[in-house]
Chains A and B, each alone.
Chain A
Amino acid sequence: MLLVLEEVRKSFPQPDGGRLEILDIPYFGLDAGEQVVLVGKSGSGKTTLLHIIAGISRPDSGSVRIDGWNITLLSEADCDRFRAKRIGYVFQTFNLLPGFTALENVLLSMYFADGRADRLRAKQLLERVGLGHRLGHKPPMLSVGEQQRVALARALANRPQLILADEPTANVDVGNQQIIINLLRETCREEGAALLLVTHSPEVARQFPRIERLEEINMVGKREVEQQV
């Protein structure tokens, strides 16, 4: 297994001094190269789960193993390096750095991974996502669809083993949604990266061979459903 989560719990402090439990995942796994879609209602903790897998947030307890590395035991600096080299992240709001060109946004990701920037690969990736003619354009000069394609190229820049995509089509027009999904799936396949994609869209979810519902893998969600029943 490429990704294994075991007994992962996460809660956030509340103004009244208590804690709001968000995640309680006994087990979740993903094989290398596998493409999985994760669906769930808003506020169910999908983004928090992706943050924990990426090492951006730490779980209260449990382990997150990626390619055998328990990233919850890594120091913050090691975790940053691990994330840069092995995980690609595609955000819902693209999160490109507005002061940098499309090419530089991809190069930045490479620079943070190992201090070097492979200009040729960055160009090839941008050409692959259809932006070979937009290398020198800054994000405000690109359409939302183009911005998300730059974000995809950036996520793939360091040949990661795992791509985490957090509702990548939520802010993209309908015409571009399928293009983005196709690009994501194709490029992940080409690069040999596993894909864990979060979406609200049933149309998008249906295209994936494996669909996971957060309410089913997350005990917090299960308990809520049971209470409602």
Chain B
Amino acid sequence: MNLWKIAWRSMQQRAVASWLTAISVGLGVALIVAVLVIHQVVDRSFRRGAQGYDLIVGAKGSALQLVLDTVFYLGQPVDLIPYSYYREFTEGRFVPAVRVAIPICTGHSYKGFRCVATIPDMFERLTYLDNREFKFREGRNFYAENYFEAVAGYTAARKLKLQVGQEIRPSGYGEVGKSQHEDEAFVIVGILEPTGTPVDRAIFLNLEGFFRCKAHQMGPSSEERMLRESEFRVVATSAESPEGHSSVLAGNGATGGSASEGTPSQESHEAPRHEGEDHAHEHAEDERRLSAILVVSELESNPQSAMALPRIINEEPYAQAIAPAQVVAELFDGIVGNVQKVLLILAVLVVIVAGIGITVSIYNSMSERRHEIAIMRALGASRGTVMAVILLESILLSLGGGLLGVVMGHTLVGALSPAIAEYTGVIVHPLDFQLAELILIPGLIALATAVGYLPALMAYRTDVAKCLIAAP
């Protein structure tokens, strides 16, 4: 026999009221747990996407728009940059500062899923999350020389029921289902393992095939493109020193990056090329445009050059280099963080209201319990003892309700996890506990003590003689 058991028995005696009170606390706690876990999911899904490379190089404009387009495959590209600018990263003046440079061209979709034109190095030289390598669930990466090959992200493949060997015909924005490439189908040659990043929800096309599409029209008019091309060349030339590109960024004995541009695999592959593709669909290289370039800097072997790279790019009039992690963090903290705060405040208010429910529940029971309290006092229980019993009952209701809430919250998260995985690419386990959930325990005890104080005080002040004489 101890005070906890006495408090527990008091609760059992009013089982229905106790359950209802505990459930009301539980609902508030479940809400808090769900907000915490889902916040973590959103945080992870936001930050995960921006890992694996240091810089995004794109046309001048909104950094946020560039990140949304390049990292999350959302919205429209800021503007386009000439393909020749990409050459600066693979064989031009930026080589010493660059370990890997991956060209990206967005702007097409297939049945609502974004198509991203790139090179095979995207999956061979880039990593995601903590240096995890991309793996193929089925098939293989596309080969550089097989122009009309594509690979699908896990979610895109699952949702569209894509299979290796299936042909797809991407369409431009606003023309979902209406292919612009009637005669250039891309063949799915691989399906990626889930990564928990936006990659899962995209389809990746061979960049070369993308450029060779007959109907491919993107970016500014030909005149604009010519003008911009010449401006880029002027800027690039002026930035170069008489010693050539290496003097701009060379340092620390850099030998130059080995960034490759879709170097064909050493193995010989039988390319299932489309008929007539070699000449009729070819774009002149100087007409080619990119949405962005993903850059992994030579931060280890040539840190000086690597650190100078964004500044040099940003000083140029038409390009910008941004650190995606920083932009994502600002976006997250500025928008999502505030939403989370509001949700948490609402959830805490729900718990407080439930706490007041505990006060009301125990307070209402006090009239009938005064007699019991008087009996306990007559048996020798001190005022402090009966006060402790009421406080413990309040704490048990809060903690019981809290435990119920944690279970309900995680069950809710478990129930939502398939939808979360589908829409965000983040796989959430129902048993993913957040450290912040630990704050709930002292928080609930503090709440229970506060809300239990009034009825406990009533118990403390019970007039034993009067209550013993009064009819039970």
List residues of A whose CB falls within 8 A of some B CB.
47-48, 51, 54, 56-57, 76-77, 80-81, 83-85, 89, 91, 93, 95-100, 104, 107-113, 117, 154
Contacts and interface: CB of A to CB of B under 8 A. Distances in A.
Nearest to B6: A108
Contacts of A48: 465
By CB atoms of chain A within 10 A, which of B13, B379, B384 has the most? B379
B472 A95 contact: yes
Interface residues of B, number: 26
B472 A93 contact: yes
B13 A98 contact: yes
23 contacts: A48-B465, A56-B378, A56-B465, A80-B377, A80-B380, A80-B381, A84-B379, A84-B380, A91-B378, A95-B468, A97-B9, A97-B376, A99-B9, A99-B12, A100-B9, A108-B1, A108-B376, A109-B379, A110-B1, A112-B376, A112-B385, A113-B380, A154-B379
Nearest to B12: A99
A56 B382 contact: no
Contacts of B469: 47
A108 B378 contact: no
Nearest to A89: B378
A89 B9 CA distance: 23
By CB atoms of chain A within 10 A, which of B12, B372, B378, B465 has the most? B378
Contact of B1 (A54, A76, A107): A107
B102 to A, nearest CB: 70
Nearest to B384: A77
B222 interface: no
Q: Which 9 A-B pairs have the closest CB atoms?
A: A84-B380, A99-B13, A112-B380, A111-B1, A99-B9, A117-B1, A57-B465, A107-B1, A112-B381
B1 A97 contact: no
Contacts of A84: 379-381
Interface string B1-27: 110001001101100000000000000
| Main SS class of interface, B | helix
A83 B1 contact: no
A106 to B, nearest CB: 10
B464 interface: yes
Interface of B: 1-2, 6, 9-10, 12-13, 371-372, 375-385, 464-465, 468-469, 471-472
Contacts of A98: 13, 372
A193 B271 CA distance: 106
Contact of B2 (A51, A97, A111): A111
A225 B399 CA distance: 61
Given A80-B377, A98-B13, A104 B1 contact: yes
Contacts of A57: 465
A74 B464 CA distance: 17
Contact of B10 (A83, A99, A154): A99
A134 B224 CA distance: 98
A109 B380 CA distance: 7
Contacts, number: 72
Contacts of A91: 378, 468
Nearest to A76: B383
B188 to A, nearest CB: 68
B465 A51 contact: yes
Given A77-B384, A104-B1, 12 more contacts: A51-B468, A54-B378, A76-B383, A81-B380, A85-B380, A89-B378, A95-B375, A96-B375, A99-B12, A107-B1, A112-B385, A117-B1
B371 to A, nearest CB: 8
A80 B382 contact: yes
Contacts of A108: 1, 6, 376, 379
B28 to A, nearest CB: 27
Nearest to A51: B465
A99 B376 CA distance: 13
Contacts of A54: 378
Contacts of B1: 104, 107-108, 110-111, 117
B142 to A, nearest CB: 72
A203 to B, nearest CB: 25
B378 to A, nearest CB: 6
Contacts of B2: 111
A154 B10 CA distance: 19
A110 B9 CA distance: 17
By CB atoms of chain B within 10 A, which of A57, A81, A89, A100 has the most? A100
Contacts of A97: 9, 372, 375-376
A105 to B, nearest CB: 9
A83 B472 contact: no
Contacts of B376: 97, 108, 112
A153 B375 CA distance: 15
A22 B379 CA distance: 25
A112 B383 CA distance: 11
Contacts of A89: 378-379
A80 B6 CA distance: 18
A93 B381 CA distance: 19
Contacts of B385: 112
A84 to B, nearest CB: 2
A50 B77 CA distance: 91
Contacts of A107: 1
A103 B382 CA distance: 22
A107 B376 CA distance: 12
A109 to B, nearest CB: 5
Contacts of B377: 56, 80
A98 B371 CA distance: 11
Nearest to A52: B465
Nearest to B375: A95
A145 B19 CA distance: 34
Nearest to A106: B1
A40 to B, nearest CB: 16
A4 to B, nearest CB: 22
A47 B466 CA distance: 11
A170 B323 CA distance: 88
